[in-house]
Structure 1
Amino acid sequence: MNKRFDLLDEKFETLTANQLVLTRRVDEAEAQGTDHERRIQALEQSLAEVRQTNMKLHSKLDDLEGRSRRNNIKIVGIPEGEEKGRPTEFVTSLIPKLLEQGNLAKQVIVDRAHRVPMPRATSTQRPRSIIARIHFYQEKEMLLRLSRQNQLVYNGARIFIYPDYTADVMTQRRGFRDVMQALREKEVTFILRFPARLQVNYEDQVKVFNSPAEAVAFIDRLQK
């Protein structure tokens, strides 16, 4: 009996020692878990701050890029090579030809011009657009207005002049494409204002939509 009790004592002591080791490990694991949770919370907070800062920087960068393009126009449809390596002089002489000299009070000053930086288009591809910086903002606005009022043609090809927006602004504005088509079909007057706000004139009221979803809901109400 004594030997059996001695064996039980030894096993109990072993179990007790193992239990102490396990308890210590659990305590260490809990402490590490608490530390990891604290560090994760700190990282999540830092990440949220970085995201917020990144959004602010992105907004400022987009604003700066937009301001740098403020005097630019985009000329679409001019065949490749027509500028013969002298795009600024070409655009300077092109503008009065497209818009007719009688519509212009004086020669429009073009600071610089270039094709969009992408591989040269082949004969079967759409020619690259020409980006031109107009010296005076008022003259740039005048060119856009005249281009909307007149059909522009160069050597038999239809030419279009658009504002030169950033990629983000263009993406936002494209979101209203289907909405604007629906408004045209319903003969509702609208203006897409910068950067991407749709102003609709309907029944002597002016409504402004900041997102395509808002405009779609308005069209749905018109249909009903």
Structure 2
Amino acid sequence: MPSTGDEEENLPLVWQKIEQSIIRSIDVRFNEFGDKLDNLIAGQQILEERIGGVENKAVNHEQRIKVMETSLEELRQQNKTLRSKLSDLEGRSRRNNLKIVGIPEGEEKGRPTDFVSHLIPKLFGAEHFDKPLAVDMAHRSLQPKPPDGSKPRTIIAKIHSLQDKEKIIRLGRQRTVEYGGRRIFIFPDYTAEVMEQRRSFKEIQQTLREKNIQHSLRFPARLHVHHQGQVKAFSSPAEAKNFVEKEL
């Protein structure tokens, strides 16, 4: 058995080895921690760069969206203006048109323009027309020809003179007209938009008729009211109604 003295002499050496082992272990752990910390810092920097890039893109997208919204609003306004002009042009191109409803298919015998120019004086009386009625063109509506016995297609005719066209409309409102024993209807050929605008004045026109006040609905939808030697023009039913309630 070794002596106690030898053990005491070897004890500092043992503690030294333990100390060195602990120090090496700590160094390894610190090195590992340092590596992980470096990796974390590097990852943080990459993340910050990516976030910065995303923020820059977001700012860029916001600017582009604002530009697109401004452009879209401009396009909306341009579209609104163009639609208004298109509607006006279409309405004016139809201004002299008539729609004749109820004429049996084939009566025009392939010459619709000549047919309409002779039809109108026959329906209303030649005494209302001091010269032959000039018709620029006429045709059936563009639907397929219906089977025999079905409702005939409408005839659309462009009257050369606006004055003659208005006269025909006026005569059509004053009397019932027939062709071959069948009732015939004649209407202006307005666009759907113009028709809607004109229908909006229906109530106020009824009021004016009940009050026996002279008035007229001018193209496309402008109400003229004769009052105390003057003519008042209204572009909206609300304006006309307000005038009638206050002044008439």
Shorter chain as normaliser: what TM range? 0.7 to 0.9
- Whichever residue aligns with residue 17 of structure 1, its letter is A
What are structure 2's unaligned runs of at least 5 residues? 1-25
1:147 counterpart letter in structure 2: G
> Could you list the runs of 5+ residues in structure 1 that have no partner in the other structure?
none
Secondary structure of 2:185's aligned partner = strand
Alpha-carbon offset, residue 26 of structure 1:
0.5
- Give the AA of the match of 1:49: E
Is residue 78 of structure 2 the alignment partner of residue 53 of structure 1?
yes
Whole-Å Cα distance in 1 between the matches of residues 198 and 89 of structure 2? Answer: 18
Q: Measure the CA separation in 2 of the matches of 1:163 and 1:83.
A: 20
Q: Distance in 2 between matches of 1:40 and 1:140?
A: 53
- Residue 20 of structure 1 is aligned with which of 28, 45, 59? 45
Alpha-carbon distance, 1:172 to partner: 3.5
1:63 aligned to 70, 88, 95, which one?
A: 88
TM-score by length of 1: 0.80
Deviation, 1:167, is: 3.0
Q: What's the Cα RMSD here?
A: 3.1
**1:74 maps onto 2:99 in alignment:** yes
- For normalisation by structure 2, the TM-score amounts to 0.73
For 1:118, the aligned partner's letter is Q
Q: Residues 127 and 175 from structure 1, CA distance in 2 versus in 1: closer, same or farther, beyond 3 angstroms?
A: farther
Match of 1:144 among 157, 169, 172: 169
1:164-179 alignment to 2 at 5 Å? 164-174=189-199, 179=203
- Residue correspondence of structure 1 range 1-224 to structure 2 within 5 A: 1-174=26-199, 179=203, 183=206, 187=210, 192-197=217-222, 214=238
Distance 2:151 2:217 in 1: 26
Going from structure 1 to structure 2, the CA distance change for 1:128 and 1:173 (only over 3 Å counts) comes to: farther
- Give 1 or 2 for the bigger CA radius of gyration: 2
CA distance in 2, matches of 1:118, 1:180: 35
Q: State how many pairs are aligned.
A: 217
Q: Percent identity?
A: 52
